[in-house]
């Protein structure tokens, strides 16, 4: 019990201590357009290299369809860029920086091939 109380006190002290403040970042571009029908475009750029561009329009199922790109610079100077589409099929990002799954092992690929072949011939299992 004393340990829990001690941890609680340490947590409160840590939260109450002053947190380092990041310097403010200037916005160098902020262009926004709204079409009045649910369509929009915007471009945002900050002096630290963050850049966001997007456009959107109403979708057929009540969603907003969007496409865009965002970029930011890593500490080592490399630029990360992510392009995306967001629509009735969900958020679909594309970037060399996104992790990709390992390829399926050969036996799993063979099982999938056999299952697809069986489905094509009308074979199903209950």
Question: How does pLDDT run across 100-118, given as a tens digit for each residue?
Answer: 888 899 999 999 999 999 9
Q: Is the pTM of this model over 0.85?
A: no
Residue 38 CA to residue 30 CA, distance in Å, equals 19
Residue 100 CA to residue 28 CA, distance in Å, equals 34
Neighbours of 56 (CB within 10 A): 19
What average pLDDT does this structure show over 29-36? 94
pLDDT (0 to 100) of residue 22: 83
Asked if residues 91 and 84 have their Cβ atoms less than 8 Å apart, the reply is: yes
pLDDT (0 to 100) of residue 4: 53
């Amino acid at each position: 019990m004393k340990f829990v109380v001690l941890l609680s006190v340490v947590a409160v002290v840590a939260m109450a201590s002053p947190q380092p403040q990041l310097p403010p970042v200037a916005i160098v571009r902020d262009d926004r357009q709204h079409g009045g029908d649910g369509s929009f475009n915007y471009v945002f750029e900050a002096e630290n290299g963050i850049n966001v561009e997007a456009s959107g329009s109403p979708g057929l199922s009540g969603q907003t369809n969007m496409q865009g790109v965002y970029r930011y610079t890593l500490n080592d100077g490399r630029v990360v860029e992510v392009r995306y589409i967001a629509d009735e099929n969900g958020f679909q990002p594309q970037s060399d920086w996104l992790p990709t799954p390992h390829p399926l092992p050969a036996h799993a690929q063979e099982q999938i091939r056999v299952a697809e072949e069986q489905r094509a011939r009308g074979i199903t299992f209950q």
